[in-house]
Chain A
Amino acid sequence: AQRVTQPEKLLSVFKGAPVELKCNYSYSGSPELFWYVQYSRQRLQLLLRHISRESIKGFTADLNKGETSFHLKKPFAQEEDSAMYYCALGGTGKLIFGQGTTLQVKP
């Protein structure tokens, strides 16, 4: 069965600290992985996707097929990064979302 797991409901760090939001997936086919972000009072929006291999707002994510992971990383967190982050799995005709992780960056 296709599944996305984000083990942390809440991740709290201080400004300037490194951040890693974990995402593991279960899928037997060729996965397409995404990170979506929802800032306070804003719409859910795409942050990045693994096929583009780009860095957005300082965030990167590498698809590790051996570990079935797609962790989101940023070397130095900023207060404006505080938001809800969702990992999503595609390649099945629809997106499957994880439970979401709230990132709280403290000053």
Chain B
Amino acid sequence: DGGITQSPKYLFRKEGQNVTLSCEQNLNHDAMYWYRQDPGQGLRLIYYSQIVNDFQKGDIAEGYSVSREKKESFPLTVTSAQKNPTAFYLCASSPHIPRTGETEQYFGPGTRLTVT
């Protein structure tokens, strides 16, 4: 069940600490995405990247940062500025650079982050 991997599965941090979530894909996909999944709120887009060394803010980027130095990797840092960081984080990738249309997104298994 490879393709997109996220690590770790569970992550615990103290309030005030930055934490980085890993996302790697071996599908040779151009685009990668980070979502946050909260009960009753669906999936909300944090950041996305359509090509290496470029990324755009999604709907809830405040308190988060990303990098895309390699095609296969798109790590997400949850900073201490994120007011409500405890959530389930999903990474996804898609095979083409979205322009006017969309292609299927492939999702990772997720990381559950708990901040206390």
Contact = CB atoms under 8 A, between A and B. Distances in A.
Given A44-B90, A99-B41, A90 B109 contact: no
A51 to B, nearest CB: 8
Interface in B58-116: 58, 90, 92, 98-102, 104-110
A49 B94 CA distance: 15
Contacts of A43: 107-110
Contacts of B40: 9, 99-100
Nearest to B90: A44
Contacts of B52: none
Nearest to B48: A94
Contacts of B43: 44, 86, 97, 100
A95 B107 contact: no
Contacts of B101: 32, 90-91
Chain A interface bracket (under 10, 10 to 19, 20 to 34, 35 or more): 20 to 34
A6 B44 CA distance: 14
B98 A93 contact: yes
B102 A46 contact: no
Contact of B42 (A86, A90, A91, A93): A86
Contact of A94 (B42, B45, B107): B45
Nearest to A89: B102
Interface in A32-54: 32, 34, 43-46, 49
Interface of B: 33, 35, 40-45, 48, 50, 58, 90, 92, 98-102, 104-110
Interface of A: 6, 9, 30, 32, 34, 43-46, 49, 86, 90-91, 93-100
Given A46-B105, A95-B45, A99-B40, 5 more contacts: A43-B108, A44-B92, A94-B48, A94-B102, A96-B45
